[in-house]
Structure 1
């Protein structure tokens, strides 16, 4: 939690990609619901840091399509058999890593924003990693812009995902408490992330995110098999 929050606070993204596979190695009970719940606090903190830099035009295209994608993501989580959850979860994380690593940056057109929003909704709800498609879309944008804009996108995405998961019967008060147990680590990571914000580049954060996510996903896949 400390490492994931540190990278997210410094670079604007990376929390889900780092935290999801590592938490899943501990127990699948921590993903996606509890992780999404605790990360909502981090997104709200980051949004307060730079809300004046949010790009409203892009948000207007992203948020409605995130809501639509969230519904599909909740359906995926609700119908997945428990015995295959770890395998599917690891495979989807590796897919998110591949998208982030190999996909070329897309232009910020209205069509690309809407397609990205759908992908964010599905992936954020199903595996707790909404950042993969956003990395592809915003990888060449200035960090001063991406950090607050992503904070607003994540805040909306996490809230919508939690509501959808609750309706689908896969998020409840017990899982919310599991999320709160992780809150101290998140707050420590947030404080450290603010201190190293000028030293940890987006490139280094991206390297750490992909390295940890891919390694942990492979270990989770081996454990599940």
Structure 2
């Protein structure tokens, strides 16, 4: 990667970390489309490893919200979903990965903006976990299905449970990639190039979270996701 690409990738990761720390979601859905446009080699493996670091950080930040573990059913769907994603991954070239991920990002954002609600129950959470596992392995973004299904009134509980789900789902998808030889030394090195963005985002997230309410940040994050998703779909369609 060129110096300019390294700087841009670090800034993308930093923005995604701030979104995650502020709303409990947004890391994968912000970072994955933008990094795919910058360099397809950064997704899924390198971004999954960095996602594990980010989710551990945000979960720890909001650990008092883990008094209630709401997403156990969804976590049960991660492993079969991740394995299914490994089967899907070779069937997709860079173009179709971008179109599919971008389309899912746009759909999830529009669902959020329209306040569309799927009933939150054991079956819907398991289904969201399976689909999230597939997306985690394919494109490092397990967020859209679970964000649409899961709701909690307490901000700490919401952020903590979502981040814990993303931590486990990212670990499962990463381990599946490693086990089947789809994550190597080059991916590990690429992950290291993204880590400065994590540090930058962690430092920036504290002041942002304290000064802005989640209600003010989430529309901005959704808007950024929508722009990224549409751009990815257009780029993939024209490729």
Superposition TM-score tier, normalisation by shorter sequence: 0.7 to 0.9
> For the residues of structure 2 that align with 1:105 and 1:146, how far apart are their CA atoms?
16
Residue 171 of structure 1 and its aligned partner are, at CA, apart by 2.1
5 Å-filtered alignment, 1:10-159, equals 10-54=22-66, 57-82=69-94, 84-102=96-114, 104-159=116-171
Q: Is the 8 A contact 1:99 1:132 kept in 2?
A: no
TM-score by length of 1: 0.88
Q: Is the 8 A contact 1:91 1:217 kept in 2?
A: yes
Determine the structure 1 residue equivalent to 2:5: none
Q: Is the 8 A contact 1:120 1:131 kept in 2?
A: yes
> For the residues of structure 2 that align with 1:147 and 1:49, how far apart are their CA atoms?
9
Residue 129 of structure 1 and its aligned partner are, at CA, apart by 1.7
- The alignment covers a number of residue pairs equal to 225
Q: Which runs of 5+ in 1 are unaligned?
A: none
Match of 1:2 among 8, 11, 14: 14
Match of 1:175 among 176, 187, 190: 187
Q: Which runs of 4+ in 1 moved over 6 A?
A: none
Deviates more, 1:195-204 or 1:111-120: 195-204
Matched, 1:161 2:173: yes
Instruction: Indicate the SS of the match to 1:196.
Output: helix
Instruction: Indicate the SS of the match to 1:70.
Output: helix
Determine the structure 2 residue equivalent to 1:217: 229
Q: Which runs of 5+ in 2 are unaligned?
A: 1-12
Residue 37 of structure 1 and its aligned partner are, at CA, apart by 1.0
> For the residues of structure 2 that align with 1:105 and 1:95, how far apart are their CA atoms?
13
Distance 1:83 1:43, change over 3 A: closer
Distance 1:63 1:177, change over 3 A: same
Q: Is the 8 A contact 1:93 1:127 kept in 2?
A: no
Instruction: Indicate the SS of the match to 2:116.
Output: coil
Distance 1:140 1:57, change over 3 A: closer
Deviates more, 1:133-142 or 1:153-162: 133-142
> For the residues of structure 2 that align with 1:78 and 1:94, how far apart are their CA atoms?
24
Distance 1:168 1:141, change over 3 A: farther
